[in-house]
């Protein structure tokens, strides 16, 4: 029997990530894994203003399932259960009852490079939106990447 999934498997996600090519401040910030939970927040900045934000939890839900629980821009939370883990560097969460996105993927190629994407049915077409990110200092307020 394989060991149960834990949030510790996603400990590499903790810290701050800036979306490549986006306006300064656009990205995600993740807490360390503690108490069986990781907490995250993301922000999209366009024209110098926050246009979207979301709060996220990664935790084990009551049925014992590792889940990505997102609350976008103050809306009701949506639960995406772990669908598949490929090795230790890619996690795919899914909620097939949600049109868009129905899948959320996080993959890291190194300690500094993160590939996130959302996939689902958008206006009747299967669509994937990629968010390539680079690790940054959490106190960075510009697009300057940490060295």
How is 41-99 classified by DSSP, letter by letter? Answer: EEEEEETTEEEEEEEEEEEE-TTS-EEEEEEETT---EEEEEEEEETTTEEEEE-TTSS
Looking at residue 1, what is its pLDDT? 34
Looking at residue 64, what is its pLDDT? 85
Contact 70, 78 (CB under 8 A): yes
Structure tokens, 35:
């108490």
Q: Mean pLDDT for each 10-residue chunk of the chain (147 residues)? A: 69 96 95 94 96 96 91 95 89 94 95 96 95 91 44
Looking at residue 146, what is its pLDDT? 38
Structure tokens, 137:
């200092």
Looking at residue 2, what is its pLDDT? 45
The model's pTM is 0.89
Looking at residue 141, what is its pLDDT? 52
Looking at residue 97, what is its pLDDT? 95
Structure tokens, 120:
């689902």
Contact 39, 23 (CB under 8 A): no
Contact 38, 7 (CB under 8 A): yes
């Amino acid at each position: 029997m394989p060991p149960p999934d834990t949030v510790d498997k996603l400990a590499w996600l903790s810290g701050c990530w800036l979306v490549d090519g986006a306006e300064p401040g656009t990205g995600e910030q993740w807490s360390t894994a503690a108490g069986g939970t990781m907490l995250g927040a993301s922000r999209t900045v366009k024209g110098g203003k926050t246009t979207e934000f979301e709060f996220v939890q990664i935790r084990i839900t009551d049925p014992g399932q590792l889940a990505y629980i997102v609350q976008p821009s103050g809306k009701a939370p949506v639960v995406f259960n772990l669908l598949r883990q490929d090795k230790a560097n890619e996690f795919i969460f899914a909620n097939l009852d949600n049109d868009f996105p129905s899948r959320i993927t996080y993959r890291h190629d190194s300690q500094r490079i993160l590939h996130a994407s959302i996939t689902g049915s958008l206006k009747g077409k299967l669509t994937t939106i990629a968010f390539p990110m680079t690790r940054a200092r959490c106190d960075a307020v510009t697009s300057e990447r940490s060295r």
